[in-house]
Each structure stands twice: as structure tokens, then as C-alpha cells.
Chains A and B, each alone.
Chain A
Amino acid sequence: MSDKPDQTQARRGFLKKAVAGGSVIPFAPTWALGATATVGIAAVASEAGASTAVPMVGYVSLSQDEAAFVETLVTVMCPADEFTPNGVDCGLATYIDRQLAGDFGRGAKRYARGPWIQGRPQQGYQLPLTPEQYFKAGLAAANEACVAKHGKPFDQVTPAQASAFLDDLGASKVAGATPPLGPWFNELVYPLFAQACFADPIYGGNVGKVFWKMVGYPGLPATHTVDMVQFRGKPYPGSKDPKSIADFS
């Protein structure tokens, strides 16, 4: 991928971060030229975010090309709209990067002895890769499949193409890749996306508790003996102002 001529796009990840941080506006035209649905994030963020919180800048595990893929992925899956800022500004890419770089990515608590034999899907994951290695192997295979289909890597296709490509991944319609991309997307990527949205913001995603506010989860500390009766069947006021681990630390 690094041999392709159109390499201004591959660095969009870092540039978007800089913009999200609010400091490097001159680069805006560059990323705004990108094909994914990122235009207007700053404006939406200020409305929906209702918070000055911003994601952490920089990646630990992901390369520049991998970051471009992941940022596109989370922007397609979480576009800026009336509910939240775009996925990058919600910290979703940061969350995924930090998980891959940490215990989860290294396969903590996972059984990793051979022999390695593929079974039925219901017997679960059976590849000799850590989750980080698996994520990256699948990402590379998905990018290859995207190039084969659209002539461009995933971070450079149109928003409609990107969205349809993810639909195909989820429906196991992108066949023939190693590793197989259906289970890769459904059992590794999708859970990471959901966690990135709804885990405590201390892990880098759900910036500003934006997803908790969206659904009305009040967070911590949840001592509800009285609330349980008082607000049974009624809106619970704490839902509007959720508290996270950092608020009690």
C-alpha cells in the first residue's frame, strides 16, 4: 500500500486527530478531500458532544496505514450525526488501538497451545494468532479485497462503497481471504467497536460519555436503593449526566 502514488490520504489519520484536537486547522482541506463521511465533524461535535473532551492523540499499536483503515471503519460505523460526533472524535480508533496494544491484543488469558486445527464456528476461534496479530492480518486481507473490488484501499473508497464493503464483511460475503473475514469482522472487529462505544471512557473510547448519554446509562456509583422505588417506571434524572471512573478518581 505504501507504494501507491496517492499517499496523501494514508496520513489522514494523524491529520484528523490534529483537527479534532482543535490545533492544526490548516490541514483541514487535506482530510476534507477524503472520501469518508467526515465533513463537518467539528460543527457536529460541538453540538452533540456537549463536552470539551477530546480523544487521546497518537497510536501505540497501529501503523499509519492501519490507522487510516481503522479511522475510516469507525467513521463509517459511527458517522457524525445528531447522536454523537464521528467515531474518531468519540475515541473509537484510540480505544481499538489501546486494546490491541495491551493485554487483550497480546492474548491474555487465552489458551494458545497447539495443535491448531480449524473446527466448526461454534467451537470458537482456532487460529495461532494473538488478537492483535489477527486484527492486523484481517485488516490487510480486507484491504486487499477492497483494492480487488474498488481499485483502492478501504480508506480511499467513497462512503457508500465503504459502508457496503462493511456490510459484505459482516455477511461473510467477502470470500476466499486468509484469515476468513466474516468471523474476523463479526467476532473481533464488531465487539471492539461496541466496546469502544460503551466501555468506560477511561479506556479511550466513549469520549465525553457520549454513548452513555445517548442511551441514558447513568454510570457510577449507582447506589440506587431509593431510586429503585422512586423512579420505577419514570425517567431517571441521573441518566442525563452519567458519571465515569475518572469522575470518582
Chain B
Amino acid sequence: MIKKLPGKTVVMVGGGLTAGLAARQLTGKNIDVLVLERGTDHSKGAEARLPTQRDELRWDTHQGLVQDWSVQTYTLRYSGNEMALPVRWMEAFLPGEGLGGAANHWNGHTWRWSEYDPEIRSRNESRYGKAAIPKDMPLQDWGTTYKEMRPYHELFEKLFGIAGKAGNINGKIVPGGDPFEAPRDGEYAQKPLELTLAGMTFKAAAEQLGYKPFPTPAANSSSAYTNPDGMKLGACQYCGHCERFICEAQAKASPEVLLYPLLKTRKNFEARLNCHVLGLTYDRAGKKVTGVHYVDRLTGQEYEQPADVVMLGAFTMTNTKLLLTSKIGTPYDPVSQTGVVGKNFCYQLGGGINLFMKDKWFNPYLATGSTQVYMDEFNNDNFDHAGLGFLGGAGINASMFSGRPIAQRRLPPGTPRWGTAWKKANADWYQHSMNIGMQGSCYPHRENYIDLDPTYSDAYGQPLIRMNFDWRENELKLSKYVAAKQTEIAKAFNADIVSPASTMQAPFDIRYYQSTHITGGTIMGKDPGTSVVSPHLQHWDAQNLFVVGASVFAHNSGYNPTGPLAALALRVGDDMAAYIERPRIL
């Protein structure tokens, strides 16, 4: 028997970063907000306290902070004539669970994307001609611009105390920063993190070749910091336990440090934990949602929670899933090229080179999740693609994020996998090796999409999301191109041993961690025929439903998604307030 609860003004699905930011905007305007989160509060548990926090096996190997795959996973197939199989244990990407979501265990890289990213189709068409965009690449503009998002980037970076070096202040290129950076109002909220020796070594090699490397903007606090809300960050301890961990020093800007403690002091805010949302109630004729249907995981009781406005702020796949199971909007069909929900599902490219230098003490454990030096010369459309046969690009970087010994040991090619020689190689190189990595764009392909699986279901009896995905020719070519650039840079290191560059290989392999930067499925745009939500993130088929997260990105860039995701979350908070004041299509 479903119990119906008293109504709320705004109900948000998923208590992660986007909900925390949007709720900050709304509750600040005296609008009441209820956040429904399937997990618990991690802030006082073993995961957030010494010594148990520093447990690689528990939080990393065994994914202690990650979505419970026994409850809900995804299926995968590579083409439309195959049966998809469930991913029974996911390594490739790691959605979070619990208040704060994946932004609890994130590394902290915080970018503004390229100024042209939201207008990616127009940019490529104007530079290379309409014919340069392949027919099976539904690259599309987002319907918004960097200029519109910029004030929210400025706000987010101050709220999260982002540490970095400006490269472009109001159009003026500033030495030391990223010369390809979108223009910003001023310097970052905090000075950059210290560079590691790996970063310095990469910087020297890249500069020798004429490139302009710079420190990656970081949410790992380079000093003690108080944000405009009066919320505090501790100074980073360079402990090497960011990615896949909660920062016990409260030095990694996260929703559970900066947003939810603030929101909990506001009377018009409530976060209801252990609530797994099953669907939305939808009035198709009225083009409105009426509320949310969820199960309390502590009691099994199901509830209907009426709401004036609903915001989906769950992980990328879940936003799409809830639209599909609630039958809101038209599902995408790759054959007829109709429908929109599930469209433009994108991932991100990786690959790298290991360098072994016996005289250099890289000390990998003296690091943060964002101690990285980056260069943007071959990222996105920062270089001329004429004649290359692909679009997009990748940032090239030297990252030293941790020395966690189970997973973060580099060994020279040809090292035996066990025995005395294996031990010797570990002893010789653990502290004397580093990596040149890449993070590359992934543009949409008409056959890369997500829908509901016809066979496999979750613990609540609902269909799993099915990933129809593989690496396509565009990304494979791009990966090879950037790998060749990495190889040139690697030569300038004069290292004792250099491993061959690893490039992207099809089929997509779920057995290895690649990136949690998954985008698309509920994409934004100006045309209801090709987008799920409007440029204001308002659903075209339910005007009181808003969707936010990387699921609204119509393509993926060569950067981490958090910056634009957060800017859009702050903006949708203001947009929802405007809608509540006067309900309409914004």
C-alpha cells in the first residue's frame, strides 16, 4: 500500500553535487526543497575517519563508496543485433552512493570547458564546413553559451575554493596558466597546489617542445579556505587518498563539506536518506509531473511524494532511466533516428605512457587527486583538424594522484608477473616512475545510446539501463593521434625506460577503470525534436520537471565534467525559482 505524503515545493532525486548546488540557490530564496537520496550520510563513518579512511582494499578495490551493483547495474552490448549482458561488477566507471554522491570520492579536477564547447557543432561547421561532420555523428549545440554559464562558473569556483592559475583573464592571456582557457573574471579562488616532481619533469619536457603546460585547476584546497557562505575547507595534506575516498581532513571541496551542512541549517531544507526513487508520476495531458514515487529502504514502505517541481539530479544513467520508466518523452531509436531520451551517450578517452627514471624520486604517495600538469595544445578543437579524419582532441597530462600500492604500481614492459624478478621491479620502480596520460573528447555516434534492457532487472524489479556503446572510428583515430604526440614528449624525458603508448581499443572493456565521466541521455538543446530538455534544463514534455547533470551534455569534452555540471546546477536552481514565481516555459 503506497502512502501519500504532504506536498513539497521542490523535490530533487539524488543527493549529490547538483542537488546540493541547486538547493542552495532555492532555499536561499525561501523555497522549500526536499532531497531524496538512496544512500546514507558518510560524513561520520569509518570512511571519513582515520585510520580506517586510509584503506585501499575497502574503499578502492572493494568500492566501499560506490553504487551497489547487486541492486542496480547496467547491461552492455556493442551493436544492435546482440543481446546485452549485465555488468556484474563494474570497474570502468564508479557512480557514488550516499549524500554527496560521486562528488565524495572524486579527485577534484575542476575545469571550465572550451569556450566553444556549448556551440560545438557551429564551431566545427564554421571551421571545417558542414560536410566535415560525419553523418553518424549527431554533434549538436547545447542551446546555451559559455557567456551565459560564466557567472555560475565564477560562483562555483568561489564556493568550492578552486586552486589554480588563470590563463585567460577577460581575454588577456596570462603566463603560467592555460592559454586555451575560456576567459575568466580573475585569478582562481586559491593559489595552485604544489607541483609534484612528476609534474615538474613533464612541464620541463613539454616546454622544451614549445608547449604551455599549467597546473590542473583543483578542488583540493591548497590552503585553509572560507567560502562566501562561511563554509570552511582545511588545507590539503597531500595524503594521496582523494580518488575513491572521502577526505577526512575536509580539504577536498565536496557537497558533504560545503553544501549539505549549510543546507541542514536552513528550515526549508530536508534531505531524506535511504529513499530509492522508483519513478515520477506524470500527467501526460497536462504536460506536468505531479510528484515522485519512492521506497524507504529501511522499512520497505513505498511513498508517493507530491511536488510542485521535480528536479532529476541523479547519476547520468539514472536520469535517463527515470524518464524512460516513467514514460516521459520519446525514447531514442537509432534506426529511425527519432526520439530523444537516451540519445548522445558519450564516454571519454584515456591512454598513456609509463616512464621509468632511476635517479628521480617521484614519491607517488606525496600527492593529491589533482596534482597534475596539463597541456591543451591537442585538446578539443585547439588545433587544426583539416585532413586528420577525426574531430575533437585530448588534454595531455602528467598526473601523480597517489601511491596506493595495490593499484598504483608501474612496472616496465616485460616484467614477469610474479616471483623474485617481479618483486625486484616493484622495489626498483615504485618510487621512480611516472605516467603521461590523456583525457580525450568523445563525440556522439548515432549507435551510442542508452535504453531499457528487455531482459535484466534490478532489485526492485525495474529494467536495467542498457548501454549500447562502443569506441567508434573517430575516437580510435583521435587516440592514435594524441598518443603519437605523447610519444614525442616522452622522448624529451631521457628516461631509462619508456613504455609504448597505450591507445583506445574496441570493444569497450568494463574490466578496467577508465573514467567516471559519462555524459548524455537527457541532452539539452533549443530544438525539442533533438533534445530532452531546453537550454534552461526544463523538460520539453513536462514543464515543471528539470533535469541536471552530465546527462544533459550533448557531447563529452577533453576535460572533467564537474565545472559545467556545477555551473548548470547553480543556474537551474535560479531557473526553478523563476519558474515557481511564474510557471511557464522559460
Query: Which residues of A are in contact with B by a Cβ distance under 8 Å?
Result: 76-79, 81-84, 103-104, 107-113, 115, 117, 119-126, 163, 166, 170, 187, 190-191, 193-195, 198-200, 202-203, 211-212, 214-225, 227-229, 231-236, 239, 245, 247-249
Contact = CB atoms under 8 A, between A and B. Distances in A.
14 contacts: A109-B69, A110-B88, A111-B69, A112-B88, A124-B511, A195-B57, A198-B405, A202-B55, A215-B427, A215-B430, A218-B365, A223-B249, A236-B361, A245-B52
A183 B426 CA distance: 24
A248 B248 CA distance: 15
B431 A239 contact: yes
Interface of B: 50-52, 54-57, 61-63, 68-70, 73, 76, 78, 83, 85-89, 91, 194, 196-197, 235-241, 249, 360-361, 363, 365-367, 403, 405-406, 409, 417-420, 423-424, 426-427, 430-431, 455-457, 507-511
Given A111-B70, A117-B85, 16 more contacts: A110-B89, A112-B70, A113-B456, A119-B85, A122-B510, A126-B85, A193-B418, A199-B61, A203-B57, A214-B423, A218-B365, A220-B51, A222-B238, A224-B239, A232-B196, A233-B361
B405 A212 contact: yes
A200 B50 CA distance: 14
Contacts of B249: 223
B87 A83 contact: no
Instruction: Give the residue among A122, A190, A235 with the most B Cβ atoms within 10 A.
Output: A122
B86 A111 contact: yes
Contact of B83 (A103, A117, A163, A193): A117
A127 to B, nearest CB: 9
A190 to B, nearest CB: 7
Given A83-B424, A194-B406, A245 B360 contact: no
B51 A124 contact: no
A112 B87 CA distance: 10
Overall SS of chain A's interface: loop
Given A122-B509, A233-B360, A249-B51, A228 B57 contact: no
Contact of B510 (A124, A199, A211): A124
A225 B360 contact: no
B55 A215 contact: no
Nearest to A198: B405
Contacts of A216: 427, 430-431
A162 to B, nearest CB: 11
Given A81-B420, A215-B427, A225-B236, A126 B366 contact: no
- Please indicate which of the listed interface residues B52, B56, B197, B365 has the most CB atoms of chain A within 10 Å of its own CB: B365
A239 B363 CA distance: 9
Contacts of A229: 194
Nearest to B91: A124
A215 B56 contact: no
Contact of A125 (B89, B423, B424): B89
Contacts of B50: 220-221, 248
B431 A215 contact: yes
Given A115-B455, A224-B238, A200 B423 contact: no
Contacts of B88: 110-112, 124-126
A231 B366 contact: yes
Contact of B427 (A79, A83, A108, A198): A83
A239 B61 CA distance: 23
Contact of B85 (A107, A123, A224, A234): A123
A239 B403 CA distance: 11
A82 B507 CA distance: 42
Contact of A77 (B406, B419, B424): B419
A236 to B, nearest CB: 5
B420 A79 contact: yes
A222 B419 contact: no
A199 to B, nearest CB: 4
A124 B89 contact: yes
A217 B57 contact: no
A113 B86 contact: yes
Contacts of B509: 121-122
A202 B51 CA distance: 12
A111 B83 CA distance: 17
A83 B427 CA distance: 9
Contacts of A202: 55
A110 B198 CA distance: 37
B236 A110 contact: no
Given A195-B406, A245-B55, A223 B194 contact: no
Contacts of A104: 62
Nearest to B51: A248
B408 to A, nearest CB: 9
Nearest to B416: A167
A81 B54 CA distance: 29
Given A125-B88, A228-B366, A234-B361, A215 B405 contact: yes
B425 to A, nearest CB: 10
B162 to A, nearest CB: 18
A111 B89 contact: yes
Nearest to B54: A220
Given A126-B85, A195-B61, A217-B430, A109 B366 contact: no
A221 B69 contact: no
Contact of A113 (B76, B238, B431, B457): B457
5 tightest Cβ-Cβ pairs between the two chains A and B: A215-B430, A222-B239, A77-B418, A248-B51, A122-B509
Given A111-B87, A199-B57, A236-B363, A228 B238 contact: yes
Contacts of A81: 420, 423
Nearest to B510: A124
A163 B417 CA distance: 11
A193 B324 CA distance: 43
Contacts of A224: 237-240, 365-366
A115 B86 CA distance: 10
A82 B423 CA distance: 10
B27 to A, nearest CB: 34
A210 B85 CA distance: 41
Contacts of A191: 61
B55 to A, nearest CB: 6
